[in-house]
Structures are given as structure tokens and as C-alpha cells.
Chain A
Amino acid sequence: MLRRHLLLGFAGLAAMSAAAPVAAQETVKVGLIATLTGPQAASGRQKVAGAKLYMALNGNMVAGKKIELIIKDDTGVADITRRHAQELIVNDKVAAISGFSLTPLALAVAPVITQAKIPAIIMTAGTSIITERSPYFVRVSFTLPQQSVPIAEWIAKNGAKTAVSLVSDYGPGIDAQDAFKMRFEEKGGKVLEQLKAPLANPEFSAFLQRAKDLKPDALFLFVPAPTAGSLMKQVIDRGLIEANIKVVGTGDITDDDQLNGIGDSVLGLVTSHFYSAAHDSPMNKKFVEEFKKANPGMRPNFIGVGGYDGMHAFYQALEKTKGDTDGTKLVEAMKGMSFESPRGMLTIDPATRDVVQDVYIRKVEKKDGELYNIEFDVVKQVKDPIHK
């Protein structure tokens, strides 16, 4: 019953916002639902820092309107994400929501945004299917298949015939292992086993031992970035690298935020990802510098860039609609949008509303006493290989 009322409420709201005179609205509110407490809290910090930095550098006036960012903490629980989304839309009357650290959190708001016709900008979550679940999703982060395919090609090209994959057992992990397997086997390799570790359990020793005993040429890893530190320590500790297993993965495992804490033992590790704090462009240099200035002790990672670019996408869309905050028009404005980000060029595919971008192959190296992912190869403008 309550649900029906809510849905009616959304429908009414949508009708109202379409009919209301646009010029009367002075402030445009944007909701940012981040995970600021709980195990994934590091990701929320980055995202909020990125979004705030964008506003600090670019002002808060767009098309004559004042932009106001409302930050909510969903603690990584899907029910709370959904509740925040409803409150933001119904009570705060936001023009768009953004954030979503994990796939389930993004999926939870799909019915809400479809009903309310409010765009949701995905700044982190990386499972392919998310953008198919509502026509109001727009993604500026990445998808796991997009990141996994280039490293599968690279490792096959560099002589690996057999591989084992180890991923966290949830949407993006499954996406990553399947995309890796698909491309690696297309290139003539063989995936011996696909290991999945529970998302909540940080003890990887048994899985790593099994991977080691299978004696593959390569081991492909994906876990969400905040868990990467302990995984990498255990990989080193278990002697997989001495056993001549080439350890590769998506950039999540050598996350810029944590890399220095993991230590020198990961020097030389090769990963594929769309962003490195060491990306060589004037825009990124400025971004990293400003980010560090505003957030002492933090180094931007791909999540921070997601927050930054998410705000940029919204600013541009609002500029394009000349301040019209109608959700459908905003989504239309974002389709096909192309702009330079600290990561490089990025395009929103008009057909899937998903991000198309360069994916870099990088190696961990020491620069100015700090560890960085240094890019040495690039696959241009990669589309998610799973979307039709």
C-alpha cells in the first residue's frame, strides 16, 4: 500500500516537474549517495572528495543556476541506498542522484529512478548490466569486462597458455572472470579454474594455495579496491610470484589509494585500468595536485576521478539543457557526451549510456619515492564487450 502511494507520488512529482516553470527554480540540487561508513568507506571518501573538488574548481553556477550537492551515507547497504534515493527525490527534489559504490547499491535504485524519471550517475559500480536496468542510468566509471579484456589479451600475447582467475563472489567479480575467460580462450589460452572468494571474508590463503597448486602461467585477480591490500599481501606471502606465476588483474588490486601501504613487493605487477594517478596529462597533474591539497594524506584513485567526472557530466548536461532540470532531457543531454577527464578522453555511448574510454596496461614502479601504476600500453576507446 505504502509502496503504491510512493509510486503515485513519483508519478505526480514527475508530472509536476515537467509542468513547473523552469525559470522559477533558483537552486538545482544533486544527491550524492556514497558509502562513508563500513568496510567500503574508503571508496565513499574518494568519491565525495572528487565531487567536491570539481565544484571547488569549477564554481557552483551552471546556466544561471546554483548547484547544491547533498551527500548521504548508505553504509554499503542496498536498502539504505534506496531509501536515500527516495528521500532525495521526494523531499529534496533533486535533479539527479549519483554515487553508488557497489553494484547492488546501484541496482536497488533502478525502479525508483525509472518511476521518478530522475537521472542517476554511476560514479563507481562496475557490473555491465546496471545501465540496462533503467533508462535513467548513466555511467562515468567503468565496467569490469571493459577492464578485464585488455589484460586477458596482454597476458595471452606475453606467452601465457594457462590461467586461473580469483575474484570476489559478487556481480562485478563474475563479470570480470567471465570476460577474462572469454577473451583469454579466444586468444588460444585455457582457464584452468575460476575461483570465487566470499565478498565478506578477507582470508584468501586457501584460494591462493589452490591457485598455486594448479600451476598456471598466469593468475588473474579482481577484488573491490578496499580489500586489495590484504589480498596482495597474501599473494606475495604465499610465494606465487616466485613460483613463476604471472600475477595480473584489473587496476583495483593496485589501487592508487592503497598502493604505497602494500609495499615494494608489488613492484613490476601488471594490471589494466582506466585511471592511474600517474597518468601523463596536464589535466591529471593539476587534478592530482589539487586533490592532494584539498585532502591531505589522500591520493586520488579511480573512485575519486569517478566522483569528479560524474559532476562534470551533470554540469555539462545542465549547460546543454540551458538549465532545464527535466530528468529525461538531462539523460538525453548526457548521451553521446564526450569530454577530457583526468583519465583521458571519455565518451558516453548514446546507445547504452555506458562509458567508452581508453584502458591502459600499467606496471607498478617507484617514482619520487612513491609507488605508482605507470602506463606503458593502451587500448583505445574500449566499449563494454558484453552490451549488445
Chain B
Amino acid sequence: MLTILFDGVAYGMLLFVLAVGLCITLGLMNFINLAHGAFAMAGGYLTVVMMNRMGISFYWCLPAAFIFAAVLGVVLERTLYRRLYDKTHLDQVLFSIGLIFMATAAVDYAMGASQQIVNLPPELNGRVEILGANVGVYRLFVIAICGLLTIALQYVIARTRFGSRLRASVDDGRVARGLGIDVTGIFALTFAVGSGLAGLGGALGASILSMDPSFPLKYMIYFLIVISVGGASTITGPFFASILLGVADVAGKYFIPAVGGFIIYTIMVAVLIFRPQGLFTRSAKR
């Protein structure tokens, strides 16, 4: 029982790290970047290449995946995404979907279509007993890293000067600019961090979620569910939504395997009926 809860939390945490960047760009910058999963895939594939072809330790792959995806994010933001900030949402959706197809085809061409397999360092394999539950070491590791990231993110956005500038830029970009805040720079940096987190999520998930070229499309649905359930205006909303969905998904498959895979969608539908603005969004914001 505890094992199931634990697996669910680990899965949810992973979903959160993968999706949080999308929450930032969607909720804070009001930009729909469906190609978010492509950054996660970039991180995942970088890990595969570094570990399997160059023999670099898994622990170095994690920061490398973050930096790689973040740099990729900045480059794309400066060259492509920036032009779409003031376009309609439909243009943004079409553009980012196109980007997904390009990423999928590029990875397929470069790395082949088969699933990439990551062999974790031996100390992360195996299982330990905690509170009577038999849990995987790697999942423990995932929970620890994702937990730390969540705290750090929440702290940066709520407590630091950068966070208040970001919030100011989002609330009213023109006034913020008038006060001397570098709105463009802040958005670029935020986009980079969001992409970087996706890359890190991809690296962490490479051994659990199965990396293949269709990754961005396959997981786009999960990201969007997280955001629609959690609401996109906070960090805590998507966080709790991810955990809820992760636990519900794993528990559903365990206890009622016949309909298990469908539970995550049922929850989404239920939430959207009763709280269309998302579970954790205050309905009257401004």
C-alpha cells in the first residue's frame, strides 16, 4: 500500500518537474509552448548519449541536461519564440506543434526510432525498506531532487528580487518596463529555466518514462492535464495536481487494473466540471 503511494508520489514529482516549465511560460508569460516536451526529450537524449556513448557518470548528466536544455531554450526563445509573444494563441499552438514534429523527425534521424535505454549507476538500483514499504532507491532519489527543486523554485518566485521583478513583468509589462525592469531579459531567463527544468526532468525520467522520438507528443497530454487541473498561475497548484495525478494513476492501475489507465482522465474531467479554472487557482484574481 505504502509502496503504491510512494511510486505515485515519485511519478507525480517527475511529472511536476517536466511540466513546471510549461506552467511558467503559460501562466506567467501567457505563451502556449506545446513543444515543451521537446526540451525534455533533448535532456533525455543528451543523458543517453553521454552515458551510453561517452561513459560519463549519470550524476554529471543531470546538470548537463539542465544546461543543455536551458541553452537550447534561450537560443530558440531569442530567434523564434520571441516573435510569437504578441501573436494569437492559435499561431502559438500551430508554431509549437510544428516544432514538435521537427524535433521528433530530427531525433528519429539522428538516433533512430527505437526506445533508448539508460543503465543507472548500481547504487541507484535496487530497493530499500522504509516504514515497512519496499521502495525503489531510484524513485527515492527522484523524489529528493524534485522536492528540493520545488522548494527552490517557490522560494525564488515568492521571496527574491528576481521573483518580484518577474511577477511585476507578468502583471503589467509596460509599467514594469517604465520602472526600469528589463522585461525581455527576465522573460528570456525564465524561459531558459523552464526549458532547463524540462531537460532535467527528461534526464531523470529517461529510465522510467522510456525515451523515444515520440516523447514530446506522448507526454504533452500529461503536461496539459497537470496544468488544467492545477491551474497555471502558481507553482503550488501544478505541484499538488502532479502529485494527485501521479498517485491516482498508479493507485488506479494497481487497484482496478481494468480501468486503471483511464482514471487520470476521469479526474481531469471531474475537476474541469466543478472547477473549470483549475483546482488551486483563486477564481477572482485581480
Question: Are A and B subunits of one complex?
Answer: yes
A205 contacts B7, CB within 8 Å?
yes
Give the distance to chain A from B143, nearest Cβ to Cβ, in Å. 14
B214 contacts A205, CB within 8 Å?
no
Give the distance to chain B from A360, nearest Cβ to Cβ, in Å. 24
Bitwise, A227-250 to B at CB < 8 A (1) or not (0) is 101100110011100000000000
Is there a chain A Cβ closer than 8 Å to B251's Cβ? yes
A14 to B207, CA, bound (A): 52
Q: Known: A206-B251, A233-B207, A238-B136. Contact between A227 and B11, CB under 8 A? A: no
Is there a chain B Cβ closer than 8 Å to A328's Cβ? no
A42 contacts B113, CB within 8 Å?
yes
Q: How many A-B residue pairs have CB under 8 A?
A: 98
Q: Which of A103-111, A117-125, A196-204, A319-327 contacts B (4 or more CB under 8 A)?
A: A196-204
A209 contacts B114, CB within 8 Å?
no
Interface residues of B in 114-148 (CB under 8 A from A): 114-117, 119, 125-127, 134, 136, 138
Partner of B254, one of A38, A210, A238, A258: A210
Chain A residues within 8 Å of B134, by CB: 239
Chain A residues within 8 Å of B212, by CB: 39, 226
Is there a chain A Cβ closer than 8 Å to B65's Cβ? no
Give the distance to chain B from A250, nearest Cβ to Cβ, in Å. 18
Give the distance to chain B from A255, nearest Cβ to Cβ, in Å. 9
Is there a chain A Cβ closer than 8 Å to B46's Cβ? no
A206 to B108, CA, bound (A): 29
Q: Known: A226-B114, A258-B114, A262-B117. Contact between A197 and B261, CB under 8 A? A: yes
Is there a chain B Cβ closer than 8 Å to A45's Cβ? yes
B210 contacts A202, CB within 8 Å?
yes
Give the distance to chain B from A11, nearest Cβ to Cβ, in Å. 38
A37 to B115, CA, bound (A): 12
A207 contacts B253, CB within 8 Å?
yes
Is there a chain A Cβ closer than 8 Å to B276's Cβ? no
A41 contacts B258, CB within 8 Å?
no
Chain B residues within 8 Å of A227, by CB: 115, 210
Give 18 CB contacts A-B under 8 Å: A36-B113, A37-B104, A39-B212, A41-B213, A196-B257, A202-B209, A203-B11, A206-B7, A206-B252, A206-B253, A226-B114, A226-B115, A229-B115, A229-B117, A229-B210, A233-B117, A239-B134, A258-B114
A-B pairs with lowest CB-CB distance, top 7: A41-B113, A206-B253, A42-B114, A198-B261, A230-B210, A261-B117, A202-B210
Query: B residues within 8 Å of A by Cβ?
Result: 3-4, 7, 11, 104-105, 108, 112-117, 119, 125-127, 134, 136, 138, 207-210, 212-214, 218, 249-254, 257-258, 260-261
